[in-house]
Chains A and B, each alone.
Chain A
Amino acid sequence: MKRTPLYGAHRRAGAKMVEFAGWEMPVQYSGVIDEHVAVRTRAGLFDVSHMGEIVIRGPGALELCQKISANDVSRMKLQQAQYNLLMNEKGGIVDDVIFYQIEPNHFLICVNASNSDKDFAWIEEHAEGNVELENASSRYAQLALQGPLAEKILQPLTSVRLNEIAPFFFSFGEVSSIRCLVARTGYTGEDGFELYCDSVEAERLWKTLLASGVPMGLEPAGLGARDTLRLEKAYPLYGHELDDTTTPLEAGLEWVTKLAKGPFVGREVLLKQKQEGIRRKLVGLELLDPGIARSEYTLFKNGRSVGRVTSGTKSPTLGKAIALAYVAIDEACLDNTIEVEIRGRKTRAKIVPLPFYRR
């Protein structure tokens, strides 16, 4: 199993470790709910060094990025970040990623840990012209400082003017003399920053941030809280809501899919699907009866199977059981009541607007 540079620090902090996408990662320190609440009300610090980084640069970089992805990379400003989808020929999603435009024709792509090798091979396969590709995943560590107090905690440690970094923009600078890419991005639905630094500096950055933030209520947070936080905000998780066979139109990611930008891999399939209409759709569910819907549970309406749950939990913020699910299009309307089969028992659930939580 792979380990991040912070493995020892997590162990010493008493974290419970689990396997995730081939990595040994902290799932919790003090407890999932406690860490979840810390991020919503103060701040949490996540080690997300398992995430992969791929660099595309050279005169043909923009053209390649446009070809392999659904969003319009040409509309990005310098030092802007963009949520994007790497697409396959069938209109399915290879990965959901963040593009960072460092310079014209120089992009850093943050990819899911489980997909980084697949993504890199797939980009290589599509690369042509004058581009240079690098799988830089092992060079970078990544820490996510998330929560309403994130800026207050980070500002004293850096000369970067954080209030000048708008959401989905980034800047380079030193945090306590460690060179970082400081991005105002995240996966929790709160304000916050993602810091990319050299792997060898990771532990020092982690300790510095905790030393500065703990007096203000910062807590280390694990993958357990990361999952409940993203689910309240209805951010998809690759392997659950998204995979090689789901299309962006089905996943509610039409806003990322710029069909008018020109040719890209999978576009023809998506144009056809848009014209013919989708057959299933990702929806939000709130359970009306006691119970918790979990990934892969089956959905029913009038005894007929109409879909499956992709993620579910009890929302710590809302105190209700929530879930994301793919539902047959004729049943996928707001307020429709369907049933989730939980260990042989049918439990009523209502389709509700997304996200479940808005700050």
Chain B
Amino acid sequence: MEFPEGLKYSKEHEWVLVEGNTATIGITEFAQEELGDIVYVELPEVGEKVVKDDPFGAVESVKAVSDVYAPVGGTVLEVNDVLPDNPETINDDPYGDGWMIRVEMTDEEDLKDLMTAEEYAEYVEQQKEDEDEEEEEDEAEDEEEK
């Protein structure tokens, strides 16, 4: 699984690319894989304000809907027009063509509690380990049953 260097990552599995005062936001490879086939994307309008840690949009798989949280606050400069008609772009290229919105950041302090690629990789690994531990416990139980 890929976590490009140079991006910042949130605990809710969004990524941010910071260029000056502008932040490009999307969801991570881990997030898209957990969701499965994405069939609908809801995005804000250009000019709307997004608030750090509040939902700014949603991604929907055939099964369920998930909110996408703003890792930084600001004003929406641009939204990815490709997504409404081709939501699967997020599955195919989460860090590239699958970007969601571009915002003008109001407060650079917002970046402080985001993770580096290395930190996020550890965070995802931890989440997977938690799952694996459950699995191992399961398998141990299975053995006992036998």
Which of B40, B58, B63, B65 meets A224, CB within 8 Å? B63
Interface residues of A in 287-326 (CB under 8 A from B): 290-292, 294, 313-314, 316, 321
Closest A residue by C-beta to B61: A32
Bitwise interface map of B from 12 to 56 toward A, beta carbon under 8 Å scored 1, else 0:
000000000000000000000000110110100000000000000
Q: B101-144: which residues lie under 8 A (CB-CB) from chain A? A: 135, 142
A228 near B135 with CB under 8 A, answer no
Chain A count of residues within 8 A CB distance of the other chain: 22
Known contacts A28-B36, A33-B37; is A11 also within 8 Å of B135 by CB? yes
- A285: CB under 8 A from chain B? no
Kindly state whether residue B78 has any CB partner on chain A within 8 Å: no
Judge whether A8 is part of the interface by a CB distance below 8 angstroms. Answer: yes
The reply to whether A291 and B42 contact each other, CB–CB distance below 8 Å, is yes
* Interchain CB contact under 8 A, B63 and A31: no
Choose among A227, A291, A316 the residue that contacts B40 (Cβ–Cβ < 8 A).
Answer: A291
CB-CB < 8 A to A144: which residues of B?
Answer: none
> Nearest chain A CB to B137's CB is how many angstroms away?
12
Contact B63 A292 (CB under 8 A): no
Q: Are A314 and B60 in contact (CB under 8 A)?
A: yes
The CA-CA distance from A292 to B60 in the complex, in Å, is: 8
B4 at the binding interface (Cβ < 8 Å): no
The answer to whether residues A290 and B58 also contact, given A8-B142, A31-B36, A224-B36 and a CB cut-off of 8 A, is no
A27 at the interface (CB under 8 A from B): yes
- A292 touching B37 in the complex, CB below 8 Å, given contacts A8-B142, A224-B63, A314-B60: no
Given A31-B36, A292-B39, A343-B42 in contact, is the A224-B135 Cβ separation under 8 Å?
A: no
- Against B, the Cβ 8 Å flags (1 = close, 0 = not) of A24-46 are 00011001111010000000000
Chain B nearest Cβ from A40, distance in angstroms:
14
Known: A11-B135, A32-B36, A33-B37. A27 touches B63 (CB 8 A): yes
Give the number of chain B interface residues (Cβ < 8 Å): 15
Whether A314 contacts B42 in the complex (CB less than 8 A), given A33-B37, A224-B36, comes out as: no
Instruction: Give Cα A290–Cα B58 distance, bound, in whole angstroms.
Output: 13
- Which residues on A sit within 8 Å (CB–CB) of B58? 343
- Shortest CB distance A96–B (Å): 22
Smallest CB separation, B51 vs chain A (Å): 15
Contacts of B84 in A (CB 8 A): 290
Q: Mark A223-237, 1 if CB is under 8 A from B, else 0.
A: 010011000000000
User: What is the CB-to-nearest-CB distance from B94 to chain A, in angstroms, rounded to a whole number?
Assistant: 15
A316 near B62 with CB under 8 A, answer yes
| Distance A291 CA – B40 CA, assembled complex (angstroms) | 7
- Interface of A, secondary structure class, is mixed
Q: Is the CB of A32 within 8 A of B37?
A: yes
- Mark contacts of A322-344 with chain B using CB atoms, 8 A cut-off: 1 yes-contact digit, 0 otherwise: 00000000000000000000010
Task: Provide the residues of chain B in CB contact with A316, threshold 8 Å.
Answer: 62
B63 pairs with A227, CB closer than 8 A: yes
For B142, the chain A residues whose CB sits under 8 A away are 8
Complex Cα–Cα for A19 and B60 (A):
20
With most chain A CB atoms within 10 A of its CB, the pick from B63, B65, B84 is B63
Contacts of B36 in A (CB 8 A): 16, 28, 31-32, 224
A contact residues around B61 at 8 Å (CB): 32
Residue of A nearest to B41 (CB): A290
The residue of chain A having its C-beta at the shortest distance from the C-beta of B142 within the complex is A8
Contacts of B37 in A (CB 8 A): 31-34
Q: CB distance B62 to A228 under 8 Å? A: yes
- Do A32 and B42 touch (CB < 8 A)? no
Q: How far is the CB of B82 from chain A (nearest CB, A)?
A: 14
**One of A11, A27, A292 near B65 (C-beta < 8 A):** A292
- What B residues does A228 contact at CB under 8 A? 62
Contacts of A321 in B (CB 8 A): 40
- What separation, in Å, do the CA atoms of A28 and B142 have in the docked complex? 22
Q: How far is the CA of A296 from the CA of B65 in the complex (A)?
A: 13
Q: A292-B40, A343-B42, A343-B58 are in contact. List 6 more A-B contacts (CB 8 A).
A: A28-B36, A33-B62, A224-B36, A290-B40, A292-B39, A292-B60
Residues of A near any B CB (own CB < 8 A): 8, 11, 16, 27-28, 31-34, 36, 224, 227-228, 290-292, 294, 313-314, 316, 321, 343
Between-chain CB contacts (< 8 Å), 16 pairs: A31-B36, A31-B37, A32-B37, A32-B62, A33-B39, A36-B62, A224-B36, A227-B63, A291-B42, A292-B39, A292-B40, A314-B39, A314-B40, A316-B62, A321-B40, A343-B42
Pairs A-B, 9 closest by C-beta atoms: A314-B39, A33-B37, A32-B62, A313-B62, A292-B40, A292-B60, A224-B63, A31-B37, A228-B62
